[in-house]
Structure 1
Amino acid sequence: MTQITTSGGVSLDYDTFGAAGLPPLLLIQGLGAHRIGWRAELCRQLADAGFHVIRFDNRDVGLSQKFPAGGYTLAEMASDAAGLLAALEIPAAHVAGQSMGGMIAQELALEHPDRVRSLALIYTAPSVDFFAGREVVDDRMHRPRARDRDEAIALYLDNEAPCASPGYQQDVAWLRELGGQMYDRDYDPDGIERQLEAVDRSRDRTLRLHRIDVPTTIIHGDGDQLIDVVAAKVMHEQIPDSTLTIHAGMGHELPSPLWTDIVEQIRRNTVRRSART
């Protein structure tokens, strides 16, 4: 666990998996999610596939810097990611983002193209217009704060229930453990609300996606209740030479039975660069 400050003055908490000499793969988390939500076992599987994996807490969550005044956008969060790479002396990295993290990844590819070697967009969208479960997210924002660790875990499990995959059993034991770890690291619902405001405040990327010129793979599930699978199809249409995989029975999560397939989809996309060049 390491803290680093970008040239923009933002303090970010990060950790890594795999040898530093391997091609870097930056993982960007979703709304309110700590970096540990990229499950360690999955990160090790990605490292075994040949990557130096970097995961970090976005601003306003976990152990990264808080921004009580809010007012930022996803573009600024993308600048945080670019700043992290620069601070780590990594000229460019393969990038994978899930949900809000996929939106940040799009901004990173659009505004800092020299920092991105390839792109994996996982159950994400080019704009808020594709939020099928917006009322679910809004409901989360208006719930009372947990008074202790047990309440925080119960609330987290309740919040994650709509993310479940209809074709796979949700790993509730892992989510219970994760909810407790997130509470222990930093419990700050206000930061999550500011992140959601950043999502709402950010511009629609749909008509700019054609500018993305790195190999891009788009991964979604047909059982996603939060972001409509149509979003994946629109991004596929807009991003030149992108690939699209819609996993049957997958919701707004990464079920462990699909990890091998998803890791291979990410790996295969990263090696498309030489052929495309």
Structure 2
Amino acid sequence: MTLVTTPTGVSLNYDTFGDPDAPPLLLIQGLGAHMLGWHADFCRLIADAGFHVVRFDNRDVGLSQKFPQGGYTLADMANDAASLLTALEIPAAHIVGQSMGGMIAQQLTLDHPTQVLSLALIYTAPNAGFLVGRDLVDERTQRPRARDQDEAIALYLDNEAACASPGYPQDIDWLRELGGQTYRRDYDPDGIVRQMEALDNSPDRAPHLHRITVPTTIVHGDGDQLIDSGASQAMHELIPDSTLTIHHGMGHELPRPLWPQIVTQIRDNTARGRA
């Protein structure tokens, strides 16, 4: 893991998988999620499909720079992603974003189109109106802070229960490990609140999605309790020539049995760009 200061002066923590000479692919995380939430095995699977994978901590989470004053929007977070690519001397990359990371990915593509080769949007939305689990998110941000690692892991598992897939077993062992890792790396619930404010203060992207011309694939699950899968249908209708896949039984997570199919969807979408 490496810390880099972008041309815009923001310090971002990142790591990579795969051949540095392979086509670059940037993974963008969701609300309050450390980059470790992109499972290392999932990252390796994408790398094995022929990509140089970059994952990073968004601002206000993990080991990246904190913004205690808040006041930023998803456009600022999209600028972070664009500036990270510049700092890494990557002129353009394939972009994959999940949840709020998918919202950032949309904004990145709209604001920095020359830096995006293709776009994969995973259980995300064009605006906050599709957040059917908003009460669950708000309740999560209002809980008392954990006093130690055991409490932090218990809270993490409880939060992730809302993301569970009705058709697939949740990987509780990994989530328990991840909860401990994120606590030890950086435990800062206030950063999640500021990221949520950024989401709320960002304008609706729907009126602008017709301007996205890069190959786009959209993936959602019909068991998502946090973001209505109708959001993906709406984006599919707005983004020209996009593809849409609704996975039966998938919630607001990436179940391991679906990884090969999802990676194939991402890879095939990048190939549309090369063609």
User: Take 1:89 and 1:213, find their aligned partners in 2: how far apart are those partners?
Assistant: 23
* Structure 2 residue aligned with 1:157: 157
Per-residue deviation, 1:206: 0.5
What is the percentage of aligned positions where both structures have the same residue? Answer: 74
User: Take 1:214 and 1:227, find their aligned partners in 2: how far apart are those partners?
Assistant: 24
Per-residue deviation, 1:274: 3.2
1:122 equivalent to 2:122? Answer: yes
- For 2:185, the aligned partner's letter is R
- For 1:176, the aligned partner's letter is R
- For 1:250, the aligned partner's letter is M
User: Take 2:198 and 2:274, find their aligned partners in 1: how far apart are those partners?
Assistant: 35
5 Å-filtered alignment, 1:38-187, equals 38-187=38-187
5 Å-filtered alignment, 1:203-218, equals 203-218=203-218
- For 2:101, the aligned partner's letter is G
Per-residue deviation, 1:229: 0.4
User: Take 1:71 and 1:274, find their aligned partners in 2: how far apart are those partners?
Assistant: 38
* Structure 2 residue aligned with 1:236: 236
User: Take 2:184 and 2:120, find their aligned partners in 1: how far apart are those partners?
Assistant: 30
User: Take 1:265 and 1:131, find their aligned partners in 2: how far apart are those partners?
Assistant: 25
* Structure 1 residue aligned with 2:257: 257
SS at match of 2:65: coil
- For 2:273, the aligned partner's letter is R
User: Take 1:243 and 1:160, find their aligned partners in 2: how far apart are those partners?
Assistant: 28
State the TM-score, normalized to the length of structure 1.
0.99
* Structure 1 residue aligned with 2:36: 36
Per-residue deviation, 1:18: 0.3
Task: List alignment gaps of at least 5 residues for structure 1.
Answer: none
User: Take 1:255 and 1:15, find their aligned partners in 2: how far apart are those partners?
Assistant: 23
User: Take 2:159 and 2:44, find their aligned partners in 1: how far apart are those partners?
Assistant: 27
User: Take 2:5 and 2:211, find their aligned partners in 1: how far apart are those partners?
Assistant: 30
User: Take 2:169 and 2:127, find their aligned partners in 1: how far apart are those partners?
Assistant: 29
Deviations 1:241-275 (A, max 9, x none): 00000000000000000000000000000010133
SS at match of 2:46: helix
Per-residue deviation, 1:123: 0.1
State the TM-score, normalized to the length of structure 2.
1.00
- For 1:15, the aligned partner's letter is D
Per-residue deviation, 1:19: 0.8
SS at match of 1:218: strand
For this pair of structures, how many residues does the alignment match? 275
The alignment's C-alpha RMSD in Å is 0.4
- For 1:195, the aligned partner's letter is Q
User: Take 1:177 and 1:199, find their aligned partners in 2: how far apart are those partners?
Assistant: 28
Deviations 1:4-54 (A, max 9, x none): 001110000000000100000000000000000000000000000000000
- For 2:193, the aligned partner's letter is E
User: Take 1:7 and 1:109, find their aligned partners in 2: how far apart are those partners?
Assistant: 19
User: Take 1:142 and 1:2, find their aligned partners in 2: how far apart are those partners?
Assistant: 32
User: Take 2:178 and 2:53, find their aligned partners in 1: how far apart are those partners?
Assistant: 20
Per-residue deviation, 1:65: 0.1
